[in-house]
Amino acid sequence: MSKNKHPLDQCHNAWQHTDQQQKWIKQYRLPLLRVTTFVPRIMANSEVAEKIYSIAKLQVHDTLSQSNYKVIESDSFEDKDGKGLLMAISGASSTQLKRAMIKLENNHPLGPLFNFDVLNRDGKMVSRRSSEMEPRKCIICDHAASYCAASHIHSEESLEREVLQLLGRHLVSFSTKETEIA
Ligand SMILES: [Zn+2]
């Protein structure tokens, strides 16, 4: 007999399935941060997704060190949606950590493609709403990203095109800056 899954269970799969985060929550009693990318499914595990992921990781480490938040332990993982990094963080409350990560999502040119999940000391997910922040915007239009994803307003191809444009613009401005410095 197959088990009937509640639809919401699927959204929280990533959090429910790893024993490691349960272990770290028990062991450290610290907020956990999970770094992944937010790209259309057809791009998962592509070179482009990997590039975005490595930029996200660099930015996260910068943000953490600027705020004097310490990484106690970190471990990378890989699943069908791509690569990810799980970290236990000290020196910040889960709300402070979530706010710092939302700021990065909002301010970095590739922020719309970064995905940062924060778990509090009790192992509960900290949402944008509970941190009194606006929901994440769609990369194409002004709706909330969750709305566009649920209603499939944009084709995967148009999302892919937008992702490539965002990355292309960022890499061009990045190399221009480096040339100016040199
Ligand atoms: Zn949209």
Q: Say how many Å lie between the CA of residue 97 and the centre of ligand 1.
A: 27
pTM of the model: 0.83
- Residues with CB under 5 Å of ion ligand 1 are 138, 140-141, 143, 148
Given a contact cutoff of 8 angstroms between Cβ atoms, the answer to whether 100 and 92 are in contact is: yes
Q: Say how many Å lie between the CA of residue 138 and the centre of ligand 1.
A: 5
**Domains and their CATH numbers in the chain:** 19-133 (3.30.70.260)
Q: How sure is the predictor about 17, in pLDDT bands with cuts at 50, 70 and 90?
A: low
Q: Say how many Å lie between the CA of residue 140 and the centre of ligand 1.
A: 5
Cα separations in angstroms, 110 against 105, 132, 151, 162: 8, 22, 23, 11
- What per-residue confidence (pLDDT) applies to 136? 85
Q: How sure is the predictor about 31, in pLDDT bands with cuts at 50, 70 and 90?
A: very high
Q: Which residue, 163, 140, 139, 130, is CA-closest to 53? A: 163
Strand order in the sheet with 114-119: 70-79, 82-90, 32-37, 114-119, 125-126
Q: Say how many Å lie between the CA of residue 173 and the centre of ligand 1.
A: 25
Would you state the structure tokens that stand for residue 41, as one six-digit string? Answer: 């499914």
Using CA atoms, how far apart are residues 83 and 62, in angstroms rounded to an integer?
19
- What per-residue confidence (pLDDT) applies to 12? 41
Q: Give the pLDDT mean for 151-175.
A: 91
How do beta strands 125-126 and 114-119 pair? antiparallel
Q: How sure is the predictor about 3, in pLDDT bands with cuts at 50, 70 and 90?
A: very low
- What per-residue confidence (pLDDT) applies to 79? 82
Residue of higher predicted confidence among 76 and 6: 76
Q: Say how many Å lie between the CA of residue 107 and the centre of ligand 1.
A: 19
Residue of higher predicted confidence among 178 and 66: 66
Q: Say how many Å lie between the CA of residue 144 and the centre of ligand 1.
A: 7
Q: Give the pLDDT mean for 96-124.
A: 93
Q: Give the pLDDT mean for 133-155.
A: 89
Q: What is the mean pLDDT of the chain?
A: 86
Q: Say how many Å lie between the CA of residue 39 and the centre of ligand 1.
A: 13
Q: Give the pLDDT mean for 15-40.
A: 86
Quick check: 181 pLDDT over 80? no
**% residues pLDDT > 90 (the chain):** 64
Q: Say how many Å lie between the CA of residue 115 and the centre of ligand 1.
A: 17
Q: Give the pLDDT mean for 52-57.
A: 96
